[in-house]
Structure 1
Amino acid sequence: MKNLILVALISIAIGICSAQCPCSDDSLCDPVSAGVRPEFVGFSMVNEQSIWESYDWNILTTLALFYPVQDLSTDLLCLAHSKQTRIVIGASFPVNQLWNYTAQEEWIQTQIQTVQQYHLDGVNIDIEDVIAEDQQDLSALLTGFVAKTNYEFKNVNPNYQVTFDVAWAAGCIDLRCYDYQGLAMASDFIIAMDYDTQSQIFTQHCTANANTPAQRAWQGTESFLNLGIPPSKLVMALPWYGYDYTCIGEGMTLNNTVCTIKWDEYRGVNCSDAAGTQLWYSQIVDLMANQSIQKTPQQWSNQVYAPWFNYINPNDQQVHQIWFDDAQSISIKVDIAQYFELLGIGIWNIDFLSTSQSETQDMWQAVAQYFS
């Protein structure tokens, strides 16, 4: 019975694969066959032509879609493939189903069918569920699931790409006690999400801080390499966004440097960046340029190598502190990736810039230095 189901799925996939190519050149519907190369992975949540036309296609190697694939513009597909840029779908699988091998197979075949139907290049697996330290059997199942996915994708087309997103450091960050070395070997490469590193704050005082301190990017990278993961299997993903924190406590003024924030629990830790609100880089630039808002000049922390500033929020009349990344802080972390000779750089999210702001080009150039 299982064999009949598999044959039926494969037959459907073959029919989907034969869908007419929407590009003027049929070869642009083939998976990109660039082989191993330095990577720039751009995560995207917005399908807006004015934005994706402004991407730096000279450096973008993989575009990971985190919006419904049916919304993908065929013009974007054809443009990306003409630039030898892969387009992959972002997808997840519930860890509580890892024991269900039928569910695994159905999920894998569904992803393959989707990739074939839309003439794409693979899948970026984004699983961030809890696997406790004493659940190593579950961790092993996750590694096996990724290996199975990669095998079945490559069996259909060796040019398909299968990648896996991991926390900013190895170990049990956010209670994700995964087999990171196994995941790196099971996939084409893993992508370390070097952002939201304040998701669990263990210090005595709950205060605002940088989204990605440069020291954490360094330490996190070392933690993966110390496991024996080759640098060629690791991509460092950085943020084009920041956090807006409401400062609490008596006596907080616009000129205070320390911003105490409310307790906000995340996965067993009482202090977390969940107390803040995410802002796109373009939104932060607009806020800094808004002359009607009372604020400090942009500051720079030599402790975490990141910019920040305070402002009076007109909605609640309270002091807020914003920590973010700009071209300078991104460049420092790109230098770290170069130092360790990593496979490449990723950005969450490449749609967080504005085509009308001069700072946008600086952000792209900060990433482009990796390839120079």
Structure 2
Amino acid sequence: MAQLQLRSRRPVPSPRGTRGLAPLLLPLLLALRVGAGADCPCQDPALCHPITHRPDFEVFVFDVGHKTWKYYDWSQITTVVLFSNYDSELMCYAHSKGARVVLKGDVSVKAIVNATFRASWIARQVELAKKQYMDGINLDIEQAVAHSSPEYYALTALVKETADSFHREIEGSQVTFDVSWSPKCMGRRCYNYTGIADACDFLFVMSYDERGLVWSKCIAGANSAYTQTLTGYDDYIKIGINPKKLVMGIPWYGYDYTCQSLSVDHVCTTAKYPCKGAVHHQVPYQIIMKQINSSTSGRLWDKNQQSPYYHYQDQAGHFHQVWYDDPESISLKAAYVQNHGLLGIGMWHANCLDYSGDAIAKQQTAAMWKALKPKLWQR
């Protein structure tokens, strides 16, 4: 996920064992799961049953807490990934709407080379999902892996074994895997993308954090540029991944760049090459919508990157340039999902919008949800 999201503490690998014990160990650990007989926290016990329906179109939502889920557009949502503490109220409500609620899974790629540890880790995730009446797991690994390394093969095995275990133990469960915006070893993540896609239910493609200041010569730019984003999906499809195994991830946040210089034609230079000392940070859409009204430029549009941006001046007199996505830029990318037969769309993350109930904020928030399915889709 986005870089500001802190990860949970990773488990410490157990002593290295033989691979032959793994198939025997996993069923044993699953049989010993804790909390299998725990009382259902929902008023209607039927809501603790797993969701088994497979939607024709997936709207995949990441939630980071703060109870804003009560104001989401549940007419669209099919899956919620809990990136925060477990919320039984959310689980019950999501199930009442026919939506899955899944765990976040993160584990060291160094540790999973040990097949016995891998089996133990998977068993614990299934145990937790059963205890909390969850519907699967979203694997968010995001670690560097060299091609054909032990970790390369272990990661593919982890995904397959996780999917096999969840599908066997929890009816209708879903196992998904987060990948970068391009399959070309972005961030040194040289995964077996086709093998992983075959092993799990689908890939969530993180089409954001695409701007690298070094290769862009320290110039600010779009977080999720149109052509670059869609080229990433073309590349996934070209290597043999079925479009129905791909869910487009779009950002509901932008980047605020401090400009060392800002030209008359809106070029924000953040630092001298190689960009040492460049300053930029993430900004949620709700803050952007409040700030744009007091900006020095108002909303601007870059035709090449098909993305909005604006300028403002801080109290110290420094100019900033903020690049973000809004309903227009999202709708353009969402149309690709329909035209190329992708399984669905989702965002990092749903809490970025303003759910305060303010009249203007309410319209802006509704427009962002609506952009997931632009008018082009209406029949």
TM, length-normalised to structure 1? 0.89
| RMSD (Å) for aligned C-alpha atoms | 2.2
The CA deviation string for residues 49-89 of structure 1, in whole angstroms up to 9 with x for no partner, is: xx2111111110000011122xx1x2221110011100001
User: Residue 360 of structure 1 is aligned with which of 351, 359, 365?
Assistant: 365
Match of 2:296 in 1: 295
Q: Match for 1:317: what amino acid? A: G
Shift in Å at residue 256 of structure 1? 4.9
Shift in Å at residue 143 of structure 1? 0.8
Counterpart Cα distance in 2 of 1:209 and 1:52:
31
Equivalence map 1:121-160=2 (5 Å): 121-133=135-147, 135-160=148-173
Shift in Å at residue 217 of structure 1? 1.6
CA separation of 1:208 and 1:22: change in aligned 2, threshold 3 A: same
Match of 1:86 in 2: 100
Match of 1:284 in 2: 288
| Kept after mapping to 2: 8 A contact 1:59/1:368 | no
The CA deviation string for residues 131-188 of structure 1, in whole angstroms up to 9 with x for no partner, is: 134x444212211110011011111124111000000011211111111111110100
Match of 2:10 in 1: none
Match of 2:40 in 1: 21
Match of 1:45 in 2: 64
| Kept after mapping to 2: 8 A contact 1:199/1:274 | no
Counterpart Cα distance in 2 of 1:114 and 1:260:
48
Match of 2:317 in 1: 317
Shift in Å at residue 99 of structure 1? 1.4
Counterpart Cα distance in 2 of 1:80 and 1:331:
25
Structure 1: segments with no counterpart, 5+ residues: 265-269
Q: Match for 2:66: what amino acid? A: N
Q: Match for 1:348: what amino acid? A: W
Shift in Å at residue 371 of structure 1? 6.2
Counterpart Cα distance in 1 of 2:265 and 2:161:
53
Shift in Å at residue 17 of structure 1? 2.1
Counterpart Cα distance in 2 of 1:336 and 1:272:
36
Shift in Å at residue 35 of structure 1? 2.1
CA separation of 1:12 and 1:281: change in aligned 2, threshold 3 A: same
Match of 1:258 in 2: 267
Aligned to 1:95, the other structure's residue is in SS state coil
Match of 1:30 in 2: 49
| Kept after mapping to 2: 8 A contact 1:41/1:63 | yes
Shift in Å at residue 313 of structure 1? 1.3
CA separation of 1:263 and 1:228: change in aligned 2, threshold 3 A: farther
CA separation of 1:88 and 1:7: change in aligned 2, threshold 3 A: closer
Q: Match for 1:20: what amino acid? A: D
Counterpart Cα distance in 2 of 1:353 and 1:273:
30
Counterpart Cα distance in 2 of 1:180 and 1:10:
28
| Kept after mapping to 2: 8 A contact 1:198/1:273 | no
Q: Match for 1:247: what amino acid? A: C
Structure 2: segments with no counterpart, 5+ residues: 1-16
Match of 1:118 in 2: 132
Counterpart Cα distance in 2 of 1:271 and 1:337:
35
Aligned to 1:310, the other structure's residue is in SS state strand
| Kept after mapping to 1: 8 A contact 2:226/2:305 | yes
TM, length-normalised to structure 2? 0.87
Counterpart Cα distance in 2 of 1:337 and 1:271:
35
| Kept after mapping to 1: 8 A contact 2:257/2:281 | yes
| Kept after mapping to 1: 8 A contact 2:65/2:85 | no
Counterpart Cα distance in 2 of 1:190 and 1:233:
6
Counterpart Cα distance in 2 of 1:127 and 1:271:
28
| Kept after mapping to 1: 8 A contact 2:106/2:139 | yes
| Kept after mapping to 2: 8 A contact 1:171/1:178 | no
Aligned to 2:128, the other structure's residue is in SS state helix
Counterpart Cα distance in 1 of 2:54 and 2:313:
51
CA separation of 1:272 and 1:169: change in aligned 2, threshold 3 A: farther
Aligned to 2:269, the other structure's residue is in SS state coil
Match of 1:172 in 2: 185
Counterpart Cα distance in 2 of 1:113 and 1:200:
43
Shift in Å at residue 36 of structure 1? 4.7
CA separation of 1:136 and 1:106: change in aligned 2, threshold 3 A: same
| Kept after mapping to 1: 8 A contact 2:194/2:239 | yes
Counterpart Cα distance in 1 of 2:84 and 2:212:
24
Aligned to 1:169, the other structure's residue is in SS state coil
